[in-house]
Chains A and B, each alone.
Chain A
Amino acid sequence: MQCCCGEENKLENRFPDTEVDLKPLDVVLEKYKGIKGSLITILQKTQEIYGYLPRRALQHIADVIGVKPAKILGAATFYTQFRFQPIGKYLVMLCQGTACHVNGSEKIEDAICDELKIKDGETTEDRLFTLENVACLGCCSLAPVMMINGEAYGKLTPESARKVIREIFKNETNS
């Protein structure tokens, strides 16, 4: 549990009230509405649709399945998988597990933060990259490891990590 005081963590800032299209969510809710214990699955499907959990979607889930919004938010904020703000086109998951830590993941983080000019949990201004520290991607013998949109990169050095990011950036700005 982390402390959540501080301006930037005010409710309005943490859960921006953006318009979203609720139609795709209704399909999910239709399927899981009557099944008990499916709240987390619903939240996972919601995140698959929007890339994060929009406040309006959470409210809609509460209305449709008849569970209090507080309970839904309680479950959603408990798990690290759930996000409440949109992410960039590329999600950089940087492993901070034990093996990666021992093998210098800190330096990789420094390099990526410097390359992208963002910190853990933030998104670049061009909305291309979001950096997220995670605990173990299960490729520990290739430590340090990062995963970008499902693709894993192992045995990183600060230089090779920068190269991967630059490569993606180059492809994006060229096309």
Chain B
Amino acid sequence: MRVRIGLGSCGIAAGAKKVIAELEKKLAEKDLGIKIEQTGCIGMCFNEPLLEVFDDEGKVSLYGKVTPEAVDRIVEEHIIGGSPVTEFLVSDDDMTFLTRQKRVALRNCGNIDPENIDDYMANNGYKAFEKCLKEMTQEEVIEQIKVSGLRGRGGAGFPTWFKWNATLNAKGAPPKYIICNADEGDPGAFMDRSLLEGDPNSVMEGMMIAGYAVGASEGVFYVRAEYPLAIKRLEMAIEQARERGLLGKNILGTNFSFDLRIKAGAGAFVCGEETALIASLEGERGMPRLKPPFPAQKGYWQQPTNINNVETYANVPWILFNGGSAFSAMGTATSKGTKVFALAGKIKRGGLVEVPMGIPLREVIFGIGGGITDDREIKGVQMGGPSGGCIPKELLDTPVDYESIVKTGAIMGSGGMIVMDETTCMVDMAKFFLDFTQKESCGKCYHCRLGTKRMLEILTRISEGEGKDGDIEILDELAVKIKEGSLCGLGQSAPNPAQSTVRYFRKEYEKHIYDHKCPSKKCKALLTFTIDEDKCTGCTLCARKCAVEAIKGEKKKAHTIDQTLCIKCGNCADVCRFGAVMID
């Protein structure tokens, strides 16, 4: 009998530590001699905390939403009694969340102990690296990556082999560098965090293979400071790899020497852009610069540098182990392999989803994600974060591949996928993203710095009922100018969220501007709260909860809201048990 618990950030946030404490106590009490094993995030975040029990016959039972109380019963009835507690098991329906996926980058997440390199090695870990070092030339490695068709998973989808090849052939004196972009700036995406927390070694192996292929001597992780657990696990994995002689001088008896280190970012979205990232690594303000020269020619400390995303690297060992053509057998003509998405928002089963490129969005959201929270109507899905756009429900049959997604006005991005329902206001979404990019613009380019601010002002006034005829056109014009006048991807894509919502949800904008109404009932300034006399029972709850004492009325009689006092906080609607508060 073995027990294992998922200890990713999300599991911990959902209370996994309390579950462990209870489990330890119980196991010790009963003196069962069972050690609790840990693993990373399996991606089933909606069911966290997760606990697995492995019977001696090899049968696995997965328990979801485990509470300390559930632990007591699991120990009594299952671990001691031998029969699983069916009511706490993850349902068969929920299991399809995993069975409908195809896991390449996430192959080990949730299956191995991320703090133990031996576990990784027992699952074919570092075999690809060894094969590259001992049996393949640098060109042969790059050739396999070319055959695989792997494209960058950090956003732009640039062919990985091409960058590697450019770095290999870059002229000049050594050293060369490998950088892993783990800045994960899209607010609403967590694939890279889960990967680093759940399987740091696969990303490291990918970097080590890249290091060998391009002839680099050092690799650097640039990790978001908000990810302390990822940093801790990477540190452990690097230390263990050094002990095993997988990092350092003359690795595995060859003449290849390579080492890895970690730099924590300091919080700036623009530092996800590769030239800004390099500036930040050099201790400067993270300002992007013009390309060319590309990092492959002049990167970190002006030396040839290859930068890839976390997920890109995580795919590399799999490709070298299974062969490039095994990877290119999955996906579409131009988008090969699989892609990991962070499914969140108004979705029933939020979490990590890895699917072959080319399957329809609908399958990801409804097939795997189980549909919309509370079975409401889907409105659309946001992809690509602040650089991306909203795809409306009419286009849910769009296949997920780089080109098809771009056609809709969104981008594949790094994999953030936020599902929105009828309660999400599109003007508010556009405003939300412009607020973000406006704050995060580094300020170097005039159009980006001031243009995003002007766009935000216009969106704000629309959401406050002050929108004017012609505002939509000014938004469009600004969008075009900002895209043309910005040096880096931040500015070039900042208008996308506004443009794509105008394109698909223009009516919603017009309702705000001309009718002063927010159909999704989100923009506070446009709402009026009233009480339906027929439904109100006079329970006085709303009046007691009202922070500004705007609700008047006698006990057991219908109440009214004083519009001059109402601050539209919505508390009354939230607390009313009779649905008597009407929002218009």
Contact = CB atoms under 8 A, between A and B. Distances in A.
B187 A153 contact: no
What class of interface size applies to chain A in its complex with B? Answer: 35 or more
B266 A79 contact: yes
B283 A38 contact: yes
Contacts of B432: 98, 101
A27 B282 CA distance: 22
Nearest to B522: A106
Contacts of A81: 225, 265-267
A138 B266 contact: no
Contact of B286 (A38, A78, A107): A78
Contacts of A82: 266
Contacts of A124: none
Contact of A2 (B227, B385, B429, B439): B439
A79 B13 contact: no
B485 interface: no
Contacts of A114: 547
B74 interface: no
A134 B283 CA distance: 23
Interface stretch (A9-17, A18-26, A139-147, A161-169): A139-147
B569 A110 contact: yes
B13 A153 contact: yes
Interface in B432-457: 432-433, 436, 438-439, 441-443, 449
Given A40-B280, A79-B286, A114-B547, A141 B9 contact: no
Contacts of A78: 268, 285-286, 442
Contacts of B10: 138-139, 141-142, 154
Interface in A84-121: 96-99, 101-103, 107, 110, 114
B443 A103 contact: no
B45 A141 contact: yes
Contacts of A155: 14
A39 B438 CA distance: 26
B283 A79 contact: no
Interface in B1-32: 9-10, 12-14
A138 B197 CA distance: 11
Interface in A22-63: 36-41, 43-44
B344 interface: yes
A102 B267 contact: no
A79 B46 CA distance: 32
B51 interface: no
B285 A75 contact: yes
Given A98-B416, A114-B547, A139 B190 contact: yes
Contacts of B442: 1, 78
Contacts of A101: 432
Interface string B193-211: 1000000000000000000
Contacts of A110: 569
B344 A143 contact: yes
Interface in B161-196: 184, 186-190, 193
Given A1-B442, A80-B268, A140 B344 contact: yes
Contacts of B9: 137-139, 152
**Most chain-A CB neighbours within 10 Å: which of B14, B264, B266?**
B266
A75 to B, nearest CB: 5
B243 interface: no
Contacts of A2: 439
A136 B188 contact: yes
B283 A36 contact: yes
Given A1-B441, A98-B416, A141-B45, A75 B190 contact: no
Contacts of A43: 266
Interface residues of B, number: 61
B281 interface: yes
Contacts of B225: 44, 81
A80 B267 contact: yes
Interface stretch (B345-353, B356-364, B403-411, B552-560): B345-353
A99 B13 CA distance: 16
A19 B41 CA distance: 45
A141 B346 contact: no
A153 B226 CA distance: 15
A135 interface: yes
B284 interface: yes
A40 B268 contact: no
A167 to B, nearest CB: 14
A98 B382 contact: yes
Given A141-B10, A142-B45, A152-B9, A1 B266 contact: no
B418 interface: yes
B570 interface: yes
B531 to A, nearest CB: 20
B184 A79 contact: no
B327 interface: no
B468 interface: no
A145 B46 CA distance: 14
A82 B266 CA distance: 8
Nearest to A82: B266
Given A40-B266, A80-B268, A134-B226, A99 B283 contact: no
19 contacts: A36-B283, A44-B225, A74-B285, A75-B284, A96-B187, A98-B187, A99-B344, A102-B345, A102-B429, A103-B346, A134-B226, A135-B187, A135-B436, A136-B189, A138-B10, A140-B344, A140-B350, A141-B45, A141-B351
Given A136-B188, A141-B344, A141-B350, 4 more contacts: A98-B344, A98-B416, A140-B189, A140-B350
Interface of A: 1-2, 36-41, 43-44, 74-75, 78-82, 96-99, 101-103, 107, 110, 114, 134-143, 145, 150, 152-155, 158
Q: Please give me the 10 A-B residue pairs with the lowest Cβ-Cβ distance, nearest first.
A: A98-B188, A141-B350, A97-B187, A152-B13, A141-B45, A39-B283, A79-B266, A136-B187, A99-B344, A80-B267
